[in-house]
Amino acid sequence: MSTTINIVEIPKLADSKLLQDKAFINNEWVSAENGQTFEVDDPATGKAIRSVPDCSAADVKKAVDAAYKAFESWSQTTGKERHDLLRKLDAAILENQDDLANILTRENGKTFKESKGEIEYGSSFFEWFAEEAVRNYGKTIPCAIPNQRTFTISQPAGVVSIVTPWNFPMAMIARKVGAALAAGCTVVIKPASETPLSALAVCELAKRVGIPAGVINVTTSKENVKDVGTELATNPIVKKISFTGSTAVGKHLMSQASGTMKKVSMELGGNAPYIVFDDADIDAAVECAIPLKFSGTGQVCISGNRFYIHKDIYDEFATKLTKKVSDLKTGHGFAKDTSFGPLINDGAVEKVTKLLKDATDKGAQVKTGGQEANKRFFNPTVLTGMKDDMLITTDEIFGPVAALYSFDTEEEVIKRANNTPFGLAGYFYSRDIGRVWRVAEKIETGMVGVNTTEVNSANAPFGGVKESGLGIEGSYLGLDDYIVNKTIHMAL
């Protein structure tokens, strides 16, 4: 069954200069050297929003050179100077929150409410790392030699290449750029081709608040993305690469970066288990499952992928979840009654459809949803009767499908939850304090939510294990990947 999606009027921007259509190099808006462009589409309508430069490796080299020149002076600024500029950027972002959310909804498709939340969340990283910039301490180390002293100082790594995904086009940039700038690094950003406009809007604000030329650079690309990625990963001037995206691309970039021994941080794919034990607060587990699974149309790396429900409460959980999911409304991100918007592109719809068909062919039952609503819109779906041989068990869904598996024992579900090469986030619900400690320690993920799905904030470490990546973003640990510790031995 197909539903008609009402297309609404797009609100106008209060500040039209935030919607830019050029690359940003050395504080200048520039076209690609090759003159090529590509269109950025509204995923809800398929209509073009803007055409932006399809930059090549030559443009990236210019951006890297600009960042390297700026690094000479930016790396010598005090933590207080960097603090002040990052706080100004944070304030400017919040002052323009509605316009930035407008741009984000246009290019990504998520609801305006979600977009406003992302702007606030992303801005919190500029605030957080502004404060960390003045607390980047060294250490004095007791020395075994009587007339010698040993201590360390923290220095910025250098020019950083940053590659970000389309699902959080502002927040992923803020999380990386905030840390890099606080540490004294300069950056060259390659945003996703689907969502480059949010990155460019942040550049406009960075320029306005006085962040110096060359400190932040953005090169947009689509058809030339392979060459651009190679340049970012192999250019010897670049000393670190930070990437968020698929595991396959992350491995490729990491391999390329090894040629110049760059520092690397990777936030890659996930396959999050969501476990509900028989002693859990079922209503709370159902309530929290909704935003975890369906925010961003399910296109979130820490979204619940495999819902393991104890056999004694399976039917109750499935019934309650199905009722709530049935009330969700798919629609344009600017429509007031929309619960969530479209998938990002046609390929995303094809993937979700393929996974759904595989599951139903192998015996899964559709409790609600189960079909494309209209073009890139996909109805929110609940599947029961899931089995471990279905593709959804091993593949990241990245769509609005909640797949429910039944389990019997604690030992069994831990083994099944860990039976994946990925380990980004995991969640479980239980009121048994002993079980809480046991399961939290045994789940093989970088982050665990116990009776909560809120595992993502500027002050908490964010990162995965196994093939979900390496490195930490956010928190007091967030500067570590952007600094080098120099040890100094001094004779008296």
Residues marked as catalytic: 267
Distance CA 176, CA 242 (A): 7
Distance CA 306, CA 388 (A): 10
Distances (CA, A) of 431 to 140, 228, 273, 449, 451: 45, 50, 18, 13, 8
The burial of 437, by beta-carbon neighbours within 10 Å (0-12 exposed, 13-18 middle, 19 or more buried), is given as: exposed
Contacts of the segment 370-373: beta carbons below 8 A, 24+ positions apart: 371/1, 371/2, 372/2, 373/2, 373/3, 373/5, 373/330
In the chain, the amino acid numbered 373 is A
Is residue 61 within 8 A of residue 152, CB to CB? The reply is: no
To which residue do tokens 């961003």 refer?
296
**H or E segment to which residue 368 belongs:** strand 365-368
- State in Å, rounded, how far the first CA of the chain is from the last one: 81
**H or E segment to which residue 251 belongs:** helix 247-257
Is residue 331 within 8 A of residue 102, CB to CB? The reply is: no
